[in-house]
Amino acid sequence: MRKNKKGAEKIISVYWFAILFIVAGAIVYMVSSFYGKPYDVREIEVGLLADKAADCVSYAGYLREGILNRGFMEKPLENCDLNFETEDTSGWKEERQYFLKMDFSDFSSGKVIFSTEEGNGNLVNFCELEGKNLPSCLERELYILDKEGKSYTIKITSIVRKTEKNV
């Protein structure tokens, strides 16, 4: 009887060790799965990019002067003080991680007057797809006037890829 009890105690202590390791392993897994994942800030980033583009083209309700000139919108990055440079990881230098497009159209007819874009245009193809490792896309519109009182709609498409560091 006494021998039997000692055997049972031994088995239970082995069992306790097994449970301890299982619980510890699960906690380590939970912590690493939560804190090991990067923060995905791209939704904020595309929003900021669209806001910055809107700030660049409009001031106090009117189109900024010279916006409709070819020279200004041929280099939107320089003229809007935007910088699409990224760190040199995961081949980001070869494949640009940002895209910005602005379509200026007549507000009444909806006819596109002119467009300007900068960055990696291939990223647009991924916007319609659904999945995890895809770029973050945002399309927003803005109503604006020129100094003569003519009204326009500006469609701003902003895309950020950077999946390697955000997903």
Partner 1 sequence: MFKLKQNKKGQMGETITWVVATIIIVLVLAVSIFISSFSAEKFKRIQEPYFQTADILASKSMFSYMLTKGNDDKIIYEQLKNQENLNDFNGNLAVKIFHGLYQKDYLNNPNNIWLGIVVNTRENANGKPCASDPQFCILLSLENNFFGERSVGSMNTELGYHTIPYTSEKIKLDENKSLELMLIGK
Block residue for tokens 């009890």: 5
DSSP character at residue 125: G
Binding residue count for partner 1, defined by CB under 8 A: 40
Pick the piece of the chain touching partner 1 (CB under 8 A) from 40-48, 68-76, 94-102, 121-129. Answer: 40-48
Handedness of CA 70, 75, 77, 81 (dihedral sign): negative
Pick the piece of the chain touching partner 1 (CB under 8 A) from 20-28, 74-82, 111-119, 123-131. Answer: 20-28
Backbone angle region of 91, left / alpha / beta, with phi > 0 → left and psi within -120 to 50 → alpha: left
Asked if 125 interacts with partner 1 (CB under 8 A), we say: no
- Shortest distance in whole angstroms from residue 71 CB to partner 1: 24
Minimum CB distance to partner 1 smaller for 7 or for 66 = 7
Nearest CA to 166 out of 139, 133, 138 is that of: 133
Residues 126-155 interacting with partner 1 (rule: CB under 8 A) = 140-145, 149, 151, 153
Structure tokens at 73: 């919108």
Asked if 28 interacts with partner 1 (CB under 8 A), we say: no
